[in-house]
């Protein structure tokens, strides 16, 4: 089960290789920012506390070299890992399943393009209809079921206004733009239920467009597809 909880300060637990990489990059960038902030604070304190000044220094070649080369090195240390992750997020390598997600005001339509006729709408379950163990404003009447540990390709678009299909624990966030087909990929690295929401303001009921992805074993996924196709 992957969702945010009250007073949470960090990210949700990673449930895909890309999200694990994003968490590592976050820690890497945060460490660099902490070191920079510490150095700047130390310099400020030294300037405040010292009583020695030299008003006759007009330039310093050494200082200019340091404040040119050091920021360049820092930018490289931040840019190289981020470029690698961007490449991983855009890479589509032999997906086992392709699902089309179409945003509406205010629900999602899912179409499993590998299975003819497997298409359904996914609406938020209202509070009075919630079953025990379900979550208010997060659960849907139909979940998007996928096989775990399999590459999934998402084709994301919208029918009316701009939406955004986002599941934080899977490291996926892609705009759903009317008239345009965007692509995203993920691999659910463990079994579970992963919650997300529309992440682009799309009207009065924007807050009521949850996304629920359920990762199951391949055998259970095949049974689910047979059940959905027979209905």
pLDDT digits (tens, 9 = 90+) for 157-170: 999 999 999 999 99
- pLDDT-flagged residues of the chain (< 70): 1-2, 54-58
Please tell me the predicted confidence (pLDDT) of residue 151.
Answer: 92
What does DSSP assign to residue 131? P
Domain of 149? 1-231
Q: Residue ranges of the alpha helices (H) in 91-177?
A: none
Structure-token pair, residue 2? 């992957």
User: Using an 8 Å Cβ cutoff, are 181 and 155 in contact?
Assistant: yes
Q: Give bridge partners of residue 121 from the DSSP assignment.
A: 109
Structural domains in the chain (count): 1
Helix (H) or strand (E) segment spanning residue 116: none
Please tell me the predicted confidence (pLDDT) of residue 117.
Answer: 87
> How far is residue 107's CA from residue 123's CA, in Å, rounded to a whole number?
5
- Collect all residues with Cβ–Cβ distance below 8 Å to 224 and sequence separation of at least 6: 145, 216
Q: List the strands of the sheet with 210-216, edge to edge.
A: 144-147, 210-216, 192-198, 163-167, 172-176
Please tell me the predicted confidence (pLDDT) of residue 23.
Answer: 92
Please tell me the predicted confidence (pLDDT) of residue 1.
Answer: 66
> How far is residue 31's CA from residue 12's CA, in Å, rounded to a whole number?
20
Please tell me the predicted confidence (pLDDT) of residue 46.
Answer: 87
CATH number, domain of 179, equals 2.60.40.420
């Amino acid at each position: 089960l992957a969702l945010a909880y009250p007073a949470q300060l960090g990210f949700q637990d990673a449930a895909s290789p890309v999200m694990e990489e994003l968490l590592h990059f976050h820690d890497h960038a945060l460490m660099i920012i902490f070191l920079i902030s510490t150095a700047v604070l130390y310099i400020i304190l030294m300037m405040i506390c010292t009583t020695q000044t030299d008003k006759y220094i007009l330039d310093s070649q050494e200082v200019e070299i340091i404040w040119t080369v050091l920021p360049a090195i820092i930018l490289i240390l931040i840019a190289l890992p981020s470029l690698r992750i961007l490449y991983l997020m855009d890479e589509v390598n032999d997906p086992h399943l392709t699902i089309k997600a179409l945003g509406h005001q205010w629900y999602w339509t899912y179409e499993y393009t590998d299975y003819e006729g497997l298409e359904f709408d996914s609406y938020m379950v209202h509070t009075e209809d919630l079953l025990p163990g379900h979550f208010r404003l997060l659960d849907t009447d139909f979940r998007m079921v996928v096989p775990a540990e399999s590459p999934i390709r998402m084709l994301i678009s919208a029918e009316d206004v701009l939406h955004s299909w986002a599941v934080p624990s899977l490291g996926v966030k892609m705009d759903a733009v009317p008239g345009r087909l965007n692509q995203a990929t993920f691999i659910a690295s463990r079994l579970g239920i992963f919650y997300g929401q529309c992440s682009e303001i799309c009207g009065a009921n924007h807050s009521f467009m949850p996304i629920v992805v359920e990762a199951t074993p391949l055998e259970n996924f095949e049974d689910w597809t047979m059940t959905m196709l027979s209905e």
